[in-house]
């Protein structure tokens, strides 16, 4: 089997840093919104969609919040940790002969983050924003991986924590695995739903 993994919120616990960056922006523009509401919004769609919505709603210059977010995250990009059971699950599946890939909207820092966390070597290829594929839920990046490595769609899963990940899997005609950890606001159907990463072992 082949497992293609989302990164933020799936393999690495980066949401605290993401939320800190977004709340910094909200405070800067004097926008009153609860952190849990921001979390729910970015889980339902994406950070980019949320920031675009904020810019339109509050008449903020286009891409201004996105630049602020990128600058803030760049300063704190390595302040992340592995999700519980992430490494054990990756190693366990690989030892059984399964292959791992990553497809994330994250950019150039992805490989360095994975190296710092000690899991970089577990992946055959890492596809990021630097590859310039269409964003999820477009299946272009997943199709690239499957075509390059001659992967049968029936033997391929995409693992993620948001609806956009499950829709991306569906659009690529592969099975989607929803990682729904405790406290997740997501309530959608998926081919497989797990509550801990090691449920896959």
pLDDT digits 0-9 by tens, 148-165:
999 999 999 999 999 999
Which domains, from first to last, does the chain contain?
A: 2-13+80-200 (3.40.50.1000), 15-75 (1.10.150)
DSSP single-letter state for residue 61: P
Q: How far is C-alpha 28 from the chain's CA centre? A: 26
The mean per-residue pLDDT over the stretch 173-197 comes to: 96
How far is CA 70 from each of CA 40, 100, 108, 159, rounded to the nearest angstrom?
20, 27, 12, 25
Residue 58 confidence (pLDDT) above 80? yes
The mean per-residue pLDDT over the stretch 161-185 comes to: 96
Distance of alpha carbon 116 from alpha carbon 94, whole angstroms: 20
Task: Please give the pLDDT value at position 63.
Answer: 87
Q: What is the pLDDT of residues 59-103, one digit of tens each?
A: 999 889 999 999 998 888 778 999 999 999 999 999 999 999 999
Of the candidates 33, 3, 8, the one whose C-alpha atom is nearest the C-alpha of residue 162 is 8
Is there a contact between 72 and 21 (Cβ–Cβ < 8 Å)? Answer: yes
């Amino acid at each position: 089997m082949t497992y293609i993994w989302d990164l933020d919120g799936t393999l690495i616990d980066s949401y605290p840093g993401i939320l800190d960056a977004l709340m910094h922006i909200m405070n800067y523009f004097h926008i009153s919104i609860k952190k849990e509401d921001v979390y729910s919004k970015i889980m339902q769609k994406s950070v980019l969609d949320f920031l675009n919505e904020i810019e339109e709603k509050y008449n903020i210059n286009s891409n201004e919040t996105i630049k602020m977010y990128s600058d803030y995250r760049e300063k704190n990009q390595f302040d992340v940790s592995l999700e519980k059971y992430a490494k054990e699950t990756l190693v366990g599946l690989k030892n059984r002969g399964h292959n791992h890939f990553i497809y994330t909207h994250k950019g150039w820092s992805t490989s360095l983050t994975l190296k710092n966390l000690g899991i970089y070597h577990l992946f055959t290829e890492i596809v990021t924003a630097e590859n310039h594929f269409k964003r999820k839920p477009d299946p272009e990046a997943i199709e690239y991986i499957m075509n390059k490595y001659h992967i049968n769609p029936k033997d391929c899963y995409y693992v993620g924590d948001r609806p956009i990940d499950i829709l991306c899997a569906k659009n690529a005609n592969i099975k989607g695995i929803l990682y729904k950890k405790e406290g997740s606001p997501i309530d959608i159907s998926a081919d497989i739903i797990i509550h801990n990463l090691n449920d896959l072992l």
